[in-house]
Amino acid sequence: MNAPETPLLTPPLALYVHWPFCVSKCPYCDFNSHVRESVDQAAWRDALLADLAYEAQALAGRRLGSIFFGGGTPSLMPPETVAAVIDAATTHWPAEADIEITLEANPSSVEAARFADIARAGVNRVSLGLQALDDAALAFLGRAHNVTEGLAALDTAQAAFARVSFDLIYARPGQTLAAWEAELARALAFGTEHLSLYQLTIEPGTRFATEAAAGRIVIPDGDSAADLFETTRAMTAAAGLPAYEISNHARLGAESRHNLVYWRYRDYAGVGPGAHGRRGGLATARHKKPENWIGAVARNGHGAQIEEPLAPNARATEALLMGLRLREGVDLARIAQLGETTPTALIDQTAAERLEQQGLIARNGDHLGVTETGMLLLDAILPLIVRG
């Protein structure tokens, strides 16, 4: 287990920018993504800049450590819009010298052609949605690219950006352990510094949920999924990309600094449709539907729908639920301060003792973490140990 992070007096701020538009809606996706025939790019750029200015005023005096363009498909954004947002953000807040600026991208040839321009706009890290290295699997997942096109986009990304990550979805219907081992071995051979590896889950409201309810989709059972998960952890660790979060794997020092802000429960600003944020003890959320968000910006100068204080116990619960996803674990003393309570009152001590005896969690003073064995059972462990 990694050592906990070194506490900082005022950790850098993270900025999330949501671009909600996609060419098509993937059948497994429950993100805030929308298909539109046309987008008024100038109006959207102006609205994003206005929403950003509002957040900057509310979070004045901070330093900026990361920007993350998510979606949706932000690689569909004009590079000029990406550059304008980066320029505005780094004007509102002084940027760290090594600021991490990530953009999620689909590996179509049209979007890959923009990578050089996006890099010139200031993006230094790309997260590529390959999702599978098998054409039949890509068709099943509703992806618009094939393997050849995806790998060409990966080559283009590696040439354009200093840092590259890509996503794969496993535990797909009918996927055998041997097939996943071969696919993951191929993925590891590409030499990227970071991989996000997600088990397929059936999310409510998606097309896959309808298919699963009708019995047309059956994902691997619990034992098979556990074998796939354990193999994933072992292979990535052996390749020098151990899991630092339950689904994210990286070389030492190549972790997503932006996502670590979420998991370490630090402040982040969120702009764009449906974006969430945390400002100290305040929770923020934007209007979700693109038309509602841009209308709110026109009326109010910002797209915020919710800005409300979080009760101390709610902050502590959020911090525990996020932090225990990390291999490094959590500092209960810091979280107790958020919750205006004591470290021992944060967790169910009886459950914690039992789980520790079973080798599923580890405690050392005020440090608490889930063990490698326990990560397989994280969804079951969290409701047992966290007092909400």
Domain CATH code at residue 251: 3.20.20.70
Question: Residue 14: is its pLDDT beyond 60?
Answer: yes
The pLDDT tens digits for 282-329 are 999 999 999 999 999 999 999 999 999 999 999 999 999 999 999 999
pTM for the full model? Answer: 0.94
User: Do strands 95-105 and 163-170 pair parallel, antiparallel, or not at all (unpaired)?
Assistant: unpaired
Alpha helices (H) in 342-377, listed in sequence order? 343-346, 349-357, 372-375
Least confidently predicted of 98-112, 271-285, 311-325, 351-365: 98-112
Number of domains in the chain: 2
Residue 3 lies in a domain: no
Distance CA 329, CA 345 (A): 17
Q: Residue 338 maps to which CATH number?
A: 1.10.10.920
Residue 284 lies in a domain: no
Instruction: Tell me what percent of the residues of the chain surpass a pLDDT of 70.
Output: 97
CA dihedral 90, 93, 97, 102 (to 10 degrees): -60
Q: Do both 254 and 335 map to the same domain?
A: no
Residue finishing a domain among 226, 242, 263: 263
Residue 327 lies in a domain: yes
Question: Residue 3: is its pLDDT beyond 70?
Answer: no
Average pLDDT score over residue span 111-133? 95
Residue 282 lies in a domain: no
Give the model's pLDDT for residue 297.
98
Give the model's pLDDT for residue 1.
45
Residue finishing a domain among 263, 288, 320: 263
Q: Do both 329 and 205 map to the same domain?
A: no
Give the model's pLDDT for residue 28.
83
Q: Do both 73 and 196 map to the same domain?
A: yes
Give the model's pLDDT for residue 40.
95
Average pLDDT score over residue span 145-153? 95
Residue 356 lies in a domain: yes
Residue 68 lies in a domain: yes
Question: Residue 50: is its pLDDT beyond 50?
Answer: yes
Q: What angle do CA 325, 330, 332 make, to 5 degrees?
A: 140
**Residue-number span of the structural domain to which 331 is assigned:** 312-385
Question: Residue 99: is its pLDDT beyond 90?
Answer: yes
Q: Which residues contact 43 (CB under 8 A, 6 or more apart)?
A: 294
